[in-house]
Structure 1
Amino acid sequence: MQSNPGSPHSDLTLAARPGAARQARRHVARVLPGWGMAGLADTAELLASELVTNAVRATAALVAAAPGEDRPPVVPPDRLGTIRLRLSRPGGRLRIEVWDADGRPPVPRAADADAEGGRGLLLVAALSAGWGWHPARDGGKVVWCEPAGP
């Protein structure tokens, strides 16, 4: 993990498990004040949590896929159970990026009004100045967002 105040980015590798979102929120809360971005902390913690939760779910689905099922190319086994969070400051803006091993694009879901989940990417879109995804050079994908705000 790199998170000193003078650094242009901060990286955190997480196990693709349910507690990863909590760790991501804590990491964001530690890094942003040192970057003079404490005013974005609440929104950034929520966004990082949503992206990490989606990455954990994508990884779990990839791991659970039976041989022969429609699976994207798999990254090396030593990276399959991990996800990576990167915070950076391009042009003075905050960018949150989350890598996971599943190279398929994220798909926003239409959530039922009573559903407890399924709104993550809709929330990301609503709270961000921009968001998107791209295939990662070394396999998998990166989903990113830039929080709207001060």
Structure 2
Amino acid sequence: MLSLHVRRDAVRDARRFAADAVAGHPYDSYEIALLASELTTNAVRAAEAMHPTWPDDIRPIGVELTVTGRYAHLAVSDPGTEPLPAQQHGGLLAERGRGLTIVDQHAAARWVTYGDHGKTVHALITAPCVILTAAELAEIRETS
């Protein structure tokens, strides 16, 4: 697990962490890094909306990546409790609102869990030529 400060360089660190985590596995490291980047950007924005400045000793954003032979499970946590914004379809030139659409285009599934200290956005990316059954997906969601 990677714990991050609420800073713009958190996105870079999450991207690097995700790409390194899938090295040697049959996943596209660029794709995994892209999804980590999009979800971490949203987490930074959610944390900034709560508090514009965070003390240096607090790292409220977490990135976790579980890699198996069938799927990679990316989970990005932040202290925000607000529901995710509705997806916006502003086109390719839009500067905001495309992140979750990008995640949904690359992930086999995406969902959100809420806890006492914020939310976690999960993305599940399957290995090449793998199709998860409904039972597998339900089990993964239950254990997250």
TM-score (norm 1): 0.74
1:127 aligns with 2:117: no
What SS class does the counterpart of residue 110 from structure 1 fall into?
A: coil
Q: Which runs of 5 or more residues in structure 2 are unaligned? A: 129-144
- Cα distance, 1:108 vs structure 2: 3.2
1:22 aligns with 2:4: no
Contact 1:59/1:81 (8 A) holds in 2: no
What SS class does the counterpart of residue 108 from structure 2 fall into?
A: strand
Equivalent residue number for residue 45 of structure 1: 33
Equivalent residue number for residue 140 of structure 1: 118
- Cα distance, 1:82 vs structure 2: 2.2
What SS class does the counterpart of residue 39 from structure 1 fall into?
A: coil
Q: Spell out, residue by residue over 1:100-137, the C-alpha distance to the aligned partner (whole angstroms, 9 max, x if none).
A: 0001221233143342221001111111100010102x
1:89–1:81 CA distance, 2 compared to 1 (3 A) = closer
CA distance in 1, matches of 2:9, 2:108: 27
Q: Spell out, residue by residue over 1:35-61, the C-alpha distance to the aligned partner (whole angstroms, 9 max, x if none).
A: x42532111000000000000000001
| Higher mean displacement: 19-28 or 82-91 | 82-91
Equivalent residue number for residue 112 of structure 1: 90
| Higher mean displacement: 37-46 or 92-101 | 37-46
1:85 aligns with 2:73: no
Q: Which runs of 5 or more residues in structure 1 are unaligned? A: 1-10, 65-76
What SS class does the counterpart of residue 65 from structure 2 fall into?
A: strand
CA distance in 1, matches of 2:43, 2:26: 25
Match of 2:47 among 59, 62, 68: 59
CA distance in 2, matches of 1:80, 1:40: 32
CA distance in 2, matches of 1:94, 1:86: 10
Identity of aligned residues (%): 35
Match of 1:100 among 78, 92, 106: 78
- Cα distance, 1:149 vs structure 2: 4.6
- Alignment RMSD (CA, Å): 2.3
TM-score (norm 2): 0.76
